[in-house]
C-alpha cells in the first residue's frame, strides 16, 4: 500500500521548515457551536411535509411556504445586525481585525 500524498505545506509544517522565515499556512479559527447552528429547520420540515402530502403542489402549502420565507428573512436580518467584531459565517476575519488582535495578544517569538 502506498503512503498517502500530502500537500507540500504539510511536509514543511511537520518538519519545522516554516520557522526558517517561511510563512506557515493560513489556518482558520474553528467555528463556534452558535455559528454552526441551523435556523428555520422546523418551518422547513413542515413545508416539506405539506409538499409530500400534496404531491409537491405549492398551492395548498402557501401558508407553510410563507412561514418558511418569513423565518429565513428574519434570520438574515438578525445575522446582518450582529456586531461587526464577531466572526462571519465562514469564520474568516479581515486583515485589519487580525492585526488588531495580534497587537493585543502578541505571539511567542522564540522557541525552546
6-41 pLDDT, tens per residue?
Answer: 777 677 666 665 555 556 556 565 555 444 457 899
Q: Which three cell numbers stand for residue 21?
A: 522565515
pTM of the model: 0.44
Mean of the pLDDT values across residues 72-88? 72
**Mean pLDDT taken over the chain:** 75
The pLDDT confidence band at residue 80, using thresholds 50, 70 and 90, is confident
Q: Which three cell numbers stand for residue 59?
A: 398551492
Per-residue three-class SS string for the chain: CCCCCCCHHHHHHHHCHHHCCCCCCCCCCCCCHHHHCCCCHHHHHHHHHHHHHCCCCCHHHHHHHHHHHHHHHHHHHHHHCCCCCCCCCCCCCCHHHHHHHHHHCCCCCCCC
| Residue 27 · residue 33 · CB < 8 Å | no
Amino acid at each position: 500500500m502506498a503512503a498517502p500524498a500530502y500537500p507540500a505545506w504539510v511536509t514543511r509544517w511537520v518538519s519545522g521548515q516554516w520557522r526558517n522565515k517561511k510563512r506557515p499556512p493560513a489556518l482558520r479559527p474553528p467555528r463556534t457551536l452558535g455559528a454552526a447552528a441551523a435556523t428555520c429547520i422546523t418551518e422547513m420540515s413542515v413545508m416539506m411535509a405539506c409538499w409530500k402530502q400534496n404531491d409537491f403542489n405549492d398551492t395548498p402549502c402557501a401558508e407553510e411556504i410563507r412561514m418558511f420565507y418569513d423565518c429565513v428573512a428574519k434570520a438574515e436580518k438578525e445575522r446582518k445586525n450582529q456586531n461587526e467584531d464577531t466572526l462571519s459565517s465562514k469564520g474568516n476575519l479581515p486583515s485589519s481585525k487580525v492585526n488588531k488582535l495580534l497587537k493585543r495578544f502578541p505571539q511567542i517569538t522564540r522557541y525552546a
